[in-house]
Amino acid sequence: MNAATIHPEAINSWAPQRQRTLGQVRRRSRMVGLMRMLFVGGAAISAGILLGPIAASTLSGPSFTIARVPGDQVVTMINPRFTGRNLDGESYIITADTARRRRDDPDTIDLTNPQLSDDEGSVIDAPVGVYYQDDNYLELFEDVSVSDGTGNILSTTAARIYVDEGRVAGLTPLEGDGPLGNLRADTYEIIDEGDRVILRGNVDMTIYPNQRESVEE
């Protein structure tokens, strides 16, 4: 059957129906587009409601990012401990409240409240010190106290301890008290692990004979 055989009334009745169908399709397309827009907008609003408190707590809470230490920043060690043995095989311990390596010389370590002790019971401490780790000697400053473990206590304002040799040297005045008496000198040197004390310059010593006899007994 071709178009020539179609009844004119049938064509007239089909044309309005086709126009109505196209209009419905357009309205449906517009409706679908509107629904898509509403769905996307609703999803965005829902995501904002869910993620908003999380983002707010993250921004207001503590930071969890990794802290980066600048390359030129000096790291301070808390309660450092350096151990070793001197030339005679006796062990020693150097402790402090804090230790800080110098940027330009890592073998030089600044100490706060350092203390050096050994197997013989000798203890040397001070508020401030510098440990030269490579050369293994310790410099103490300010209120330096030296105790040999037998009751002798010496005080000075500066001391250099050669840890390997078990030797203490100072260029500032020294004062001391002990079981045998008291002493004073402008400079001093303690050698042989404290068995000998060399005093120089304006040396003043007071020895208590009775105390010496009691010590010898």
Strands (E), the chain: 76-78, 81-85, 91-95, 98-101, 108-112, 115-118, 123-125, 128-132, 137-147, 153-162, 167-170, 174-178, 181-185, 187-191, 196-200, 204-207
Answer yes or no: is pLDDT of 31 > 70: no
Q: Do residue 53 and residue 84 come from a single domain?
A: no
Task: Give the range of the structural domain holding residue 8, as residue numbers without chain letter.
Answer: 3-60
Q: How confident is the model at residue 70 (pLDDT cuts 50, 70, 90)?
A: low
Q: How confident is the model at residue 117 (pLDDT cuts 50, 70, 90)?
A: very high
CA distance between the termini of the chain: 146
Contact criterion met (CB below 8 Å) for 158 and 170: yes
Q: Do residue 91 and residue 141 come from a single domain?
A: yes
Q: Do residue 140 and residue 92 come from a single domain?
A: yes
Token pair belonging to 21: 């169908």
Q: Do residue 38 and residue 82 come from a single domain?
A: no
Q: Do residue 100 and residue 170 come from a single domain?
A: yes
Q: Do residue 171 and residue 212 come from a single domain?
A: yes
**pLDDT of the residue at 10:** 47
Q: Do residue 115 and residue 195 come from a single domain?
A: yes
180, part of any domain: yes
Q: Do residue 18 and residue 107 come from a single domain?
A: no
Q: Do residue 80 and residue 55 come from a single domain?
A: no
Answer yes or no: is pLDDT of 56 > 60: no
Separation between Cα atoms, residue 160 and residue 162, nearest integer Å:
7
Compute the residue count for the chain. Answer: 217
Answer yes or no: is pLDDT of 59 > 60: no
194, part of any domain: yes
- Please count the structural domains in the chain: 2
